[in-house]
Structure 1
């Protein structure tokens, strides 16, 4: 049994698990932690690679190098075959993603004490929205990486279905559950009938009434908050002094998006920024952007914005230092500011809930349970939008970072037993 595992390779965090004493168990991957940030840090000084929390710490310690996060977001996109310079040579994003995945597998094997050869991998309902070919390419690429890492048998399961299998362990009677999985990169939904009588069945297709998803998640909330509240401090929305034109916005969008931050460190982009600086009306604010790029502090800023989002959701208010931009500069706002910044994204997610109900031919009153999981499922306005449709449904909060991984282990044990 221990050769069988489930892996949730997430946009922000990843897990791996196996059956232990007939129980689905997430493995310790970094010290005693069952989650590991999906991050790599290429340390230029040591010419070494760090993963997970060590990667983030290596970057924050000030070591010269390259931090990469949100790796899953490039699957199915043209960036997959693009290259970036690391250790003075080109690396494709496929190579970078494989480096993290291989390390994840090795950590799982170190926990079990033996090779892992059979796996069920989680996947969003859509890797790429409205593009079946790109979506298939994303899964094929991940499967190829898993096979190169040493897995012999590889299956896939929609992440919200996996979360449903985790929840079903505690179900005492038949329920019609809407699984709400708001992750780092996508928001995914499944409508599924759950029952203790069918818990051990391999084929559950008759119980699945619908699946839907949209490529919006926690990293998008970070991006939208950053664009609304932080990037204006760096000159976004400003004007060029001698032209009737705005300051180019592409730099700010790259800086606000986890997996494109490193593109700003290209020599050509740095030259462009110097040229724009000579033309902007508000030189002081744009100089902040230039200095941030020169100091390669983009990920420090992204981490601060992410922290501010979490703090606002937890306490209703955020007050976070932005010393990486300028000494004593702070980001200070109320929860309502975050909710205004992400309102359109929340509406798109809510429309996806409406779509899955139409697809399944189910009315909100027929749904008995709402099961929330995913690292971004705690956004108050998002929860309010979803809950507003289901006044009589039971609300269950799963393990935000572990329900999908646990369900993948259950699925793997059924498939490969």
Structure 2
């Protein structure tokens, strides 16, 4: 049996196998071991995934882009159908098509069939709903079996990241693992050490797990709603002065997994009706142009890129020339931090809960291991480190630590 570790993330995916006794991430797109969790359906061609999917959309090819697929797990959307070319396809089947392509590429790279998987999962797919959380895991298991895996098991993503980090630990320590991904923020307090790493049963070393459905896409959405969508009419008045333009269209446009809702024709007709009653119809005209030209995913990608630039700079801008010639949205880091301050506090609050569940004070933590792309956001990083100020900070492989740890787990379970 050949086993793999699979980190199917909201934003990116990795898959690893054991080579020469060591875990190794497989090249899934050219030389890249990380592939965006995106799929593009063209009318008369095979589906494209990853960077190729994003490029096809941004280059203006006819077709349908879908991204942030993982975010529908545990929601009612998973069994809803969406229009893909001439057929309507359930979201669970879209995920299956994406993962089937990833699996085939990994098998071609590894030179053998992969029939067992240690699948990563967040601590909570859905906040505060254990039944929905279990349905999400069950759905992911069903999908994994449907694409050809014969053995499927799960491990919390922060625990997997801890297994990757443990390879570098020289002595026993208590570590807080902080995995801030595209869709969730997950935390584990775990006892690590070279004398523990070979143990088959590590349950006693995992002192607490916590998580919250806050991730990079939520920061993107808040940034978009705060700094970009007002230029397209969000919050603008209607002719009846006590009313504002309906916000649902702007929220859909700012959310990766909801953008396609605007492209079914009905939404565009409704937006045109809003324009007729708008006190500032020129703003709604901008929104109409974005939806008519199906620019939503490109706009979301531009906002995401702006967020990344603000990790190193104080200001940036998002070009909106396709909505109106010469239009740009200027964005300052201070505004971004203001729009997303509540998200940072949710992350800090979950760390406090995790420490309390472990029965530990902050000063008991020896090291904090950071992984996931959103740990690069300065105020997210500050929120994490502020809860364990005395801990040593360890930078993990931002996009690869979870996949590598899941590969270690797969070798342990199926080796």
Structure 2: how far apart are the matches of 1:416 and 1:396?
29
Do structure 1's residue 286 and structure 2's residue 288 form an aligned pair?
no
Q: Which residue number in structure 2 is paired with residue 32 of structure 1?
A: 31
Do structure 1's residue 169 and structure 2's residue 167 form an aligned pair?
yes
Alignment of 1:194-273 (within 5 A): 194-242=192-240, 244-273=242-271
Q: Which residue number in structure 2 is paired with residue 13 of structure 1?
A: 12
Whether the 8 Å contact between 1:38 and 1:69 is mirrored in structure 2 is: yes
Structure 2: how far apart are the matches of 1:232 and 1:87?
32
Q: Secondary structure at the match of 1:278?
A: helix
Do structure 1's residue 367 and structure 2's residue 365 form an aligned pair?
yes
Give the alignment partner of residue 379 of structure 1, picking from 377, 382, 391.
Answer: 377
Q: Which residue number in structure 2 is paired with residue 389 of structure 1?
A: 387
User: Which runs of 4 or more aligned residues in structure 1 lie more than 6 Å from their structure 2 counterparts after TM superposition?
Assistant: none
Alignment of 1:336-415 (within 5 A): 336-415=334-413
Whether the 8 Å contact between 2:161 and 2:371 is mirrored in structure 1 is: yes
Q: Which residue number in structure 1 is paired with residue 149 of structure 2?
A: 151
Instruction: For residues 226-254 of structure 1, give each alpha carbon's deviation from its aligned partner in whole angstroms, at most 9, with x where no partner exists.
Output: 00000000000011114631110000000
Instruction: For residues 313-351 of structure 1, give each alpha carbon's deviation from its aligned partner in whole angstroms, at most 9, with x where no partner exists.
Output: 122322332233223222322211111111011111110
Do structure 1's residue 185 and structure 2's residue 168 form an aligned pair?
no
Q: Give 1:353 shift.
A: 0.5
Q: Secondary structure at the match of 2:312?
A: helix
Structure 1: how far apart are the matches of 2:328 and 2:265?
29
Q: Which residue number in structure 2 is paired with residue 72 of structure 1?
A: 70
Q: Secondary structure at the match of 1:391?
A: coil
Q: Secondary structure at the match of 1:376?
A: helix
Give the alignment partner of residue 101 of structure 1, picking from 94, 99, 102.
Answer: 99
Structure 1: how far apart are the matches of 2:66 and 2:97?
11
Whether the 8 Å contact between 2:289 and 2:322 is mirrored in structure 1 is: no
Give the structure-1-normalised TM-score: 0.98
Give the alignment partner of residue 127 of structure 1, picking from 125, 128, 131.
Answer: 125
Q: Secondary structure at the match of 2:28?
A: coil
Structure 1: how far apart are the matches of 2:81 and 2:139?
16
Structure 1: how far apart are the matches of 2:143 and 2:387?
40
Instruction: For residues 23-70 of structure 1, give each alpha carbon's deviation from its aligned partner in whole angstroms, at most 9, with x where no partner exists.
Output: 1100000000000000011113x3431111000000011112111000
Q: Secondary structure at the match of 1:128?
A: coil
1:243/1:388 CA distance change after superposition, 3 Å: closer
Whether the 8 Å contact between 2:351 and 2:387 is mirrored in structure 1 is: no
Whether the 8 Å contact between 2:374 and 2:380 is mirrored in structure 1 is: no
Q: Secondary structure at the match of 1:178?
A: strand
Whether the 8 Å contact between 2:348 and 2:387 is mirrored in structure 1 is: no
Q: Which residue number in structure 1 is paired with residue 22 of structure 2?
A: 23
Question: Which deviates the most, 334-343 or 216-225?
Answer: 334-343
